[in-house]
Structure 1
Amino acid sequence: MIRRITTIFLLFCSVSALFAQEDKEKLKKENESKIKKADELYSKYAYVDAIKIYERIAEQGYVDQNILENLGNAYYFNADYTTALKWYDKLFEGTKNAANNYNITPEYYYRYAQCLKSVERYDEAQKILEQFMKLTGKDDLRARKLEEHADYLQVIKDNSGRLTIKPAEINTEYSEYGTAFYGKDEVVYTASRKPKSSRGTSNWTGEGYYDLYRAKFSDGNLTKEEEFAPKLNTLLNESSPVFTRTLDTVYFTRNYEVPLSKEEKRKKAEEKVLLEIYRSIRKNGEWTEAVRMPFNVTGYSVAHPAISPDGKYLYFAADINGTHGKSDIFRVRLNHKKGVYGKPENLGDVINTEGRETFPFVSEHNVLFFSSDGLPGLGGLDIFAVKIENDGSLKRLQNIGRPGNTPDDDFAFILDEKRNIGFLSSNRPGGKGKDDIYYFVQNRPLEFDCKKTIKGIVKDIDTKEVLGEVTLTLSDSDQKEITKIDNKANGEYDFGAQTVDCDGTFVFLRAQRKDYAVVEEQVSIREKGKIIEKEILMKTTKQKLKKGDDLAKIFQIKEIKFDLGKYDIRPDAAAELVKIVEAMKDHPTMKISIRSHTDSRGSDKANLILSDKRAKATMSWIISQGIDKSRLTAKGYGETQLVNRCKNGVRCSEEEHQQNRRSEFIITAM
């Protein structure tokens, strides 16, 4: 009876699924022409009109991967991350149904995570980003940055609260963004206003076109808005101005249209809208006709100019050749008086990713501020800062924190460091339009020179007795000595405030004392606060050593780690090998057999070769530290001497495999 009921139930489910599939195919056929029209609008960046059609189709109960992706993208590209999330949620939910046969590319994992961040679902976003990292590996700069800046939320927290923000009075239901100081008592900015009948609205945004406006600036308030310069505002879009110190030259962004090929026109493709940088000079109180800059590249976008404090460089965002992603930050050497410009220079992958890096600004103190959705942040575009060194290198990339950044788009940051005031633009909740301008006061600046006080106490690891007469050396991550001190008789040490590499994650701390094994440990400098306390435990070498002893066990030496498939001595491995070197110096007649072992994963032959190379690399490093070659032998044993059951074909935990990945330093003579 039960079998009969089950058979009937399964038959019912099969019939229901069949009808459901037939209904889906019927809906698809009925909507084919509508989908085709929406796809065409989408391909022409007419996102507002495409959304209307896609959503009407979805309301009827039909969606597929293409519709869900395009709907999510249309909102995403208009910075409406909350609504984009609705469709990306459905897209990823659809992957759970095998019948859909969805094949989602890694880019959608990244966009989905960004949208999850926009509603502060950070735990879910992190899981999606972990999948993104697995799919792309280190081939994607965004994945590498996530790995390098794993503590980005802590950095954001540390940098938060520095700004006091309020919305500008000139904000309206339309968009305002992209400010520039025009002297001390005026600000020039970008705005769309009520669409004029002669210009209509933008298919991309659904708003009017952008022009340059000016407003009086006093006590943090913007008032008396008026058009900046009628000669510069055209039927196209103008935005993001920047002025030279003398206020007689302005650089700004203007869109242009590039006709596509005859073949593309034959397919009724629309002209592609792109961006370029223009320059105008003020003569006799009037702005001259704007001139297109020679470093613009036809067919690409070059936009959002910024000038270095010394006036020697123009920074901008572009997607020209050599760009890592959607847009990168570039700079070009300039002499605007002579009209001479250098070759655009990409600022590299310290800041640029496969995402959007845009809206650069360089402060008086040579700090480059810019926005990115490819670097780890709160969601959408976040504002980042990096110090430009005298040689042009970039130092200590960091997120500026809340409230400058939010889960939405935050961009077009400018700062007057003398007055500690500035403006930024954002589409955060609570604004009047899609994008709004916000005035801020900077309560404290970002720190680019990191100072940490490292202190603690030294003890015997076995007796816990405090140890004096210990020499402690602090070194950077490249083992370059920073400073050296001797501790007090009560075992305490204090390096005082030391400047450390802000971009680094750790420093080395070495402790040396007569009759004790050298201790060298990594100290994390990413720990919160200015003071880091570290207890150092040392082990005596007075115990009698004999032939056959393994120094790795006696001195509790950690595994000598190598990068996957490599045999170069890493800094953390060198920190362990120092202990072997010191032991051999304390016992001049001691000889050591270096033995390297692997776990069973990988081929037997490859493991044998790799372990042998690692053993010999270890020996070479010890020799480089002054130990005679005749006192050392080295051999790799691969997986031939496993210490547990984890041979080929046996399922084992990572901890069990770890037991087999070991280095031995066996005393062969005393």
Structure 2
Amino acid sequence: MKTKYILVVTFILISFSSWAQRSLFDGVNMTIDTLSINTPYSDFGPAIIEDELVFLSFSEKDGKKSDNQNKVFYDLYSTSLNAFGEVVSDRSRMGSVVSKYHEGPLAYCANTGELFLTQSNWQNPQEENMVFIKKNIRLGIVVYEKSGTSWQLKERLPFNSSEYSVAHPTISVTGDTLIFVSDMPGGSGETDLYYTVRTADGWSDPVNLGPKVNSGGQEMFPFLNTDGTLVFSSDGFGGAGKLDLFYIKFPILASSQRATFTGDINSPADDFGMVVHNNQQSGYFASNRADGMGSDDIYFVRFEDYVFDVITMSSKTKEILAGAHVNIIDEEGRVAASGSTNDEGRLEVKLEGNTSYTLVATNEEYMEKVLDLNMADQTNFVDGNLEVFLDPEFAFKGQVVDIMGNVPIPDALLTVSDGTKVDSILTDDKGTFRYNLESDKKYRVEVAAYNYFGTEIEFNTMGMDMGVFDYLIQLYSLDAGSRIALKNIYYDFGEWNLRPEGKRELDRLAKVLEEYPDIQIILESHTDSRGTDEYNMELSNKRSEAANDYLISKGISARRIDWVGFGETQLVNDCDGSIPCTEEQHYENRRTVVEIRKSKVTRRAKGNIFYF
């Protein structure tokens, strides 16, 4: 390092109010390489503005480089970066912000579109034409804003002074918290780190960051990373060499530990000006270590691992979901990370950078969430964390049981149709099932099981909020003695013609009789209480006969079917004419029941009549 105030550029992507609790440098493997933009002179102060790496270098004077570096100015240069943070173009001078003074460092706030730039702080305009090296010029921070394709001066920070330097700015993503370096009176050492907050009334008075950051030596080059890490250089805490890189969580609390040494990056030489790429998987710093091209060079750091928290939340309420299970699968199908979120809905994960994964998150009463996770793309990360929103369960679920004692029926087949596709699911050993639904759909579910008479369920999700359709589906066994009220075999008043839904139920019965050729049945039809006894008896016989004829038309032998009518003698409710009843109540009595008279198996209990 060749000057007391080396100029560095920083780029911030962090919200002051919501910084995370982990550092990018904790337990992460990394590799370090030099960059092609370096020259035999001093190149340092890397920064990122959008998709460019901006850095500082000695400018040419009269078309030549000076042999005496103290007689020339530092200017800003840039080069293009790809998504991985790799340099993909030659360096070029940034003429839009270059002045006749020393320039840098600067911090860019994407939220406000401002540049916070360190420049030579000329307090007396008459001194501008004097040779720089002959004046003890202080440094100050000025603010620029974009105007078309150029930058225009907006303001100078109110605490700039001709008595001391104010330099090395780094700004929060909201643009309201600035950290900088100064040798103003009252500090701990030669230079300290300070912060100031912007309010409606302007910038607050600078506040020293205290002994957990500042020492009796020099603290410089602050950088706020998206994971809440404040990185800076110091020669006052001891380390591998002269200036070394340290980090600490920001804001700095009473419980905070002293700044931590970044051992994997530091060398016996000066190491300073660390910044991290937007992708959080690479970064840059400057060093005058022995293997460089010039006096100071910029080095490229690739973080091989990326440590972050998966945070599970409800997509509907945005509340934290504790206990959600998370599996992360790599491209080879191997489990790269697995676990359950804690009481704060967090699960710490460590993955390889620039790699693709599949994340699967599940939680009780929520739908499974599957995310493609490309570690080269940080757009899914918020403050360095991955927020996973689970949709409240929108499902058809329940249990299929034998109606005799509600005994679970495993391996029952449910065929689910929404009019455009058909899916099949099986119940587990407890007879339970679950199927994810979609909004604005009409569903029909056919339920079947071995040695059971199946059934059908219809429902729709038209205009509904997410929720659960929870069913206890009771099936009748096909044992001898079972009496089953055929679902939907109802008749219009005074009619015996089969309705369409009744035909569908008889089709189910015909299929059962085909699959179980030993079964013999009797069809029993009923009427409501209106009409004479004689009329109702005749009507019920016609209804049974109509059902019998329909089954025969489907290929079932007449020898396997008996039929009978019971008129109004077996009502299912109290609508016997003694009390007023609705049409719907009378409708329930106009029905057909099937009794299984013969089967391979004798029913466990006889004499009971069961209805859906």
TM-score (norm 1): 0.39
TM-score (norm 2): 0.42
Larger helix proportion, structure 1 or 2? 1
- Structure number, greater radius of gyration: 2
Q: Flag the structure with more relative contact order, 1 or 2, with Cα contacts below 8 A and sequence separation at least 6.
A: 2
